[in-house]
């Protein structure tokens, strides 16, 4: 019988371990619990949800998070199956009873005939045996040092991401393309503000509600990358000498520099997503939508990813990972979960599911292909493994899917067609791979 080590029993590790075990692989699953806990965990069960009981939208045809969950259902996901079984009323979202959710998953893992649970802190990796590292955003100690070594120092310890906007939602009547002093290829989108617009935005920014950070996160996150709201609190004009500096950005409509100008930078090669340059933030998601939409060019902005600031160990996946989540330098070692740069509970579990599928094929010496990027499962892997000099974690959103082969201007219809194409592809892949 084939053997695999899985390190970490969070959502990703649990998903991988269970999928392999269900398909006849002998799995040794390592985790700190119940003898030890990370600073964020309090429950002795595996697959603990520490931030929210919501796994986001269940709308398959209108929300990419809902589509991702349906793709996972199609491929036999443990996490989504148990989430459906332990769901509680939450409108259009999939919310669960957190304790029941974690307890059921833990029992499935502990009672499986092909899974051996070892409560132990793993400090080294044997590259000659198949191993899945799914230790999550709080990886530390000797294993963190090992990851840093094997990733060629392409490892981040704190995650400070700016929001990402859908290109089509940017009001280009209030914005213009161009680089500072016209040096470059004109790839940036510039969003000018008048003095009155800037001051109104500034007053709302410095008083907006902020998300609560864990005590162990606060100091290092804020020292490592200053949130825009903290920067703003240092003085009315601080942002105008920082991320909203207008110098060198001539507005073609006025022929002058604006009072303040936000720059947006491409987040993907196709230019369907743009990053708010320098806008790392700890505002709540609702406040980000409210306050940042005060910038005229962003008045109708669709936020594909909100800004986050929290402790989060993740590798620079474009440099170190293959599309099947194996390490380029050590093909028997796979990474899964947030450590790869996928952002979110469901996204983490999704990567674990795909690792299980790919690794099983490898163990059986069967040919396999990675799932198409027209699916959310494939697009996430494609995003985190495509070269990107400003790589940051990404959650599931329609912006990472390749466009349709025809123009569909109605947004709801376009999302529905993208979802239909994705699910058709998942079902074809399922047959092709005999899953």
- Least confident residue range of 90-104, 140-154, 274-288, 328-342: 140-154
pLDDT band at 30, cuts 50/70/90?
very high
Would you tell me how many other CB atoms lie within 10 Å of the CB of residue 227?
19
Query: Residue 344: which of 49, 46, 29 has the closest Cα?
Result: 49
Residue-wise pLDDT for 175-226, tens only, equals 999 988 887 778 899 999 999 999 999 999 999 998 775 554 444 444 446 7
Q: Is the dihedral of CA 427, 433, 434, 435 positive or negative?
A: negative
Q: Looking at the predicted structure, is the pLDDT value of residue 241 above 70? A: yes
Whether 135 contacts 314, CB under 8 Å: no
> What pLDDT is attached to residue 26?
98
Q: Long-range contacts: 118-123, Cβ < 8 Å, 24+?
A: 118/28, 118/29, 118/30, 118/31, 119/30, 119/31, 119/32, 119/33, 119/34, 119/35, 119/36, 120/30, 120/32, 121/32, 121/36, 122/7, 122/30
Taking the C-alpha atoms of residue 6 and residue 29, their distance in angstroms, rounded to an integer, is 5
Q: pLDDT-derived band of residue 390, with 50, 70 and 90 as boundaries?
A: confident
pLDDT for position 226? 75
Please give the pLDDT value at position 224.
46
- Percent share of the chain, pLDDT over 90: 64
For residues 274 and 374, give the distance between their C-alpha atoms in angstroms, rounded to a whole number: 20
Q: How far is CA 156 from CA 69, 92, 145, 245, 294, in A?
A: 28, 34, 12, 27, 32
Residue 2 has pLDDT above 90, yes or no: no
90 pLDDT higher than 80: no
Q: What is the pTM of this model?
A: 0.76
Domains of the chain: 3-161+310-432 (3.50.50.60), 164-306 (2.40.30)
CA distance 67 to 380: 13
Instruction: Give me the mean pLDDT over the 234-252 stretch.
Output: 94
DSSP assignment string, 349-396 = HHHHHHHHHHHHHHHTT----PPPTTSHHHHHHHHHHS--TT---B--
If you average pLDDT over every residue of the chain, what do you get?
88
């Amino acid at each position: 019988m084939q053997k695999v080590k899985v390190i970490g029993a969070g959502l990703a590790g649990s998903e991988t371990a269970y999928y392999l075990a269900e398909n006849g692989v002998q799995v040794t699953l390592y985790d700190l619990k119940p003898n030890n806990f990370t600073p964020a965990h309090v429950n002795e069960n595996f697959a603990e949800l520490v931030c929210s009981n919501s796994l986001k939208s269940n709308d398959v045809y209108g929300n990419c998070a809902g589509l991702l969950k349906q793709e996972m259902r199609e491929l036999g996901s443990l996490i989504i199956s148990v989430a459906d079984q332990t769901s509680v009323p939450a409108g259009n979202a999939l919310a669960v009873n957190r304790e029941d959710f974690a307890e059921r998953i833990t029992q499935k893992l502990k009672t499986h005939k092909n899974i051996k649970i070892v409560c132990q802190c793993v400090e080294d990796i044997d590259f000659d045996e198949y191993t899945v590292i799914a230790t999550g955003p709080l990886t530390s100690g000797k294993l963190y040092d090992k990851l840093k070594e094997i990733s060629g120092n392409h490892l981040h310890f704190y995650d400070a991401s700016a929001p990402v906007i859908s290109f089509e939602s940017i009001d280009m009547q209030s914005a213009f393309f161009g680089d500072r002093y016209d040096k470059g290829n004109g790839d940036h989108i510039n969003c000018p503000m008048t003095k009155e617009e800037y001051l109104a935005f500034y007053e709302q920014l410095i008083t907006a509600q902020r998300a609560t950070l864990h005590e162990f996160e606060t100091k290092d996150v804020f020292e490592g990358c200053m949130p825009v709201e903290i920067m703003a609190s240092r003085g009315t004009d601080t942002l105008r000498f920082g991320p909203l500096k207008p110098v060198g950005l001539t507005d073609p409509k006025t022929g002058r520099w604006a009072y303040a100008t936000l720059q947006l930078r491409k987040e993907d090669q196709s230019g369907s997503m743009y990053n708010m340059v320098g806008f790392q933030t700890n505002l709540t998601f609702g406040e980000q939508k409210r306050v940042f939409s005060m910038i005229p060019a962003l008045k109708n902005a669709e936020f594909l990813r909100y800004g986050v600031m929290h402790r989060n160990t993740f590798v620079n996946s474009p440099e170190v990972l293959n599309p099947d989540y194996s390490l380029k330098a050590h093909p028997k070692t796979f990474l899964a979960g947030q450590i790869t740069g996928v952002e979110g509970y469901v996204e983490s579990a999704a990567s674990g599911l795909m690792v299980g599928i790919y690794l099983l094929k490898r163990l059986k010496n069967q040919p396999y292909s990675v799932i198409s990027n027209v699916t959310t499962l494939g697009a996430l892997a494609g995003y985190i493994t495509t070269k990107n000099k400003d790589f940051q974690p990404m959650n599931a959103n329609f912006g990472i899917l390749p466009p349709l082969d025809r123009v569909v201007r109605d947004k709801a219809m376009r999302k529905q067609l993208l979802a239909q194409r994705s699910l058709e592809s998942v079902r074809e892949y399922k047959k092709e791979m005999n899953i």
